[in-house]
C-alpha cells in the first residue's frame, strides 16, 4: 500500500503499472470528488484465464471480461478491482486507442463500480461513460505521467 491506501499487484503475470504514484493520486482525487471515503483499494492485474475463473466461480458468468470488482464495505471504498491485461490490449486494438488510455479507463470504471455506479441499463451506462470521460480528462490535465 502507498500513502493513499491504494495498492497495485499482479497475479499470474508480470505487470508493473507505469506511473503508479501519479495514478494512485488521481484515483484518490476521483474518490474525493465523488465524496466517498477511501479505506483500502487494491488493483490486481491478471490475464484472461485468471479473470475468467473468477467470473465463473464468483459471478456464475462464463465469459471473458475486462474488470471485476469486489466491494467489502458499505460506508467506504474498500475493495479489489481485478483487471485482465489481455482484455485491455484487445479493447485498445478494437477501439483504436492507446493501451495506457484503455487501462486508465478500465481502472476508473472499476472504481466507479465500487462507489455504486452501475452500467446495466442504457441510462446507467451513459452516466458511467460520462464519469469515465470526466475523470480521464482530469488525469490528462492534472497528473504528471512519464
Q: Find the CATH number of the domain harbouring 91.
A: 3.40.390.30
Q: Residue 73 and residue 27: Cα distance in Å, rounded? A: 18
**pTM over cut 0.85:** yes
Number of structural domains (the chain) is 1
Q: Residue 137 and residue 78: Cα distance in Å, rounded? A: 25
Q: What is the pLDDT of residue 1?
A: 66
Residue 1 lies inside a defined structural domain of this protein: no
Q: Residue 113 and residue 109: Cα distance in Å, rounded? A: 6
> Sign of the CA dihedral 104, 99, 62, 55?
negative
Range of the structural domain that residue 134 is part of: 6-142
Per-residue pLDDT tens over the stretch 90-121: 999 999 999 999 999 999 999 999 999 999 99
Residue 138 lies inside a defined structural domain of this protein: yes
Residue 74 lies inside a defined structural domain of this protein: yes
Per-residue pLDDT tens over the stretch 40-96: 999 999 999 999 999 999 888 888 899 999 999 989 999 999 999 999 999 999 999
Cα distances (angstroms) measured from residue 129 to each of 43, 50, 70: 20, 26, 20
Per-residue pLDDT tens over the stretch 1-42: 677 799 999 999 999 999 999 999 999 999 999 999 999 999
Residue 23 lies inside a defined structural domain of this protein: yes
Whose CA is closest to 27, among 120, 98, 106? 106
Amino acid at each position: 500500500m502507498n500513502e493513499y491506501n491504494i495498492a497495485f499487484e499482479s497475479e499470474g503475470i508480470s505487470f508493473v503499472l507505469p506511473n503508479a504514484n501519479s495514478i494512485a493520486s488521481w484515483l484518490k482525487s476521483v474518490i474525493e470528488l465523488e465524496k466517498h471515503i477511501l479505506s483500502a483499494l487494491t488493483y490486481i492485474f491478471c490475464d484472461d484465464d485468471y479473470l475468467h475463473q473468477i467470473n465463473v466461480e464468483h459471478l456464475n458468468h462464463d465469459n471473458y471480461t475486462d474488470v471485476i470488482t469486489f466491494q467489502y464495505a458499505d460506508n467506504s471504498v474498500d475493495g479489489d478491482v481485478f483487471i485482465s491485461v489481455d482484455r485491455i490490449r484487445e479493447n485498445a486494438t478494437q477501439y483504436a486507442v492507446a493501451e495506457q488510455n484503455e487501462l486508465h479507463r478500465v481502472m476508473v470504471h472499476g472504481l466507479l463500480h465500487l462507489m455504486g455506479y452501475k452500467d446495466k441499463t442504457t441510462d446507467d451506462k451513459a452516466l458511467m461513460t460520462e464519469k469515465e470521460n470526466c475523470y480521464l480528462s482530469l488525469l490528462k490535465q492534472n497528473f504528471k505521467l512519464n
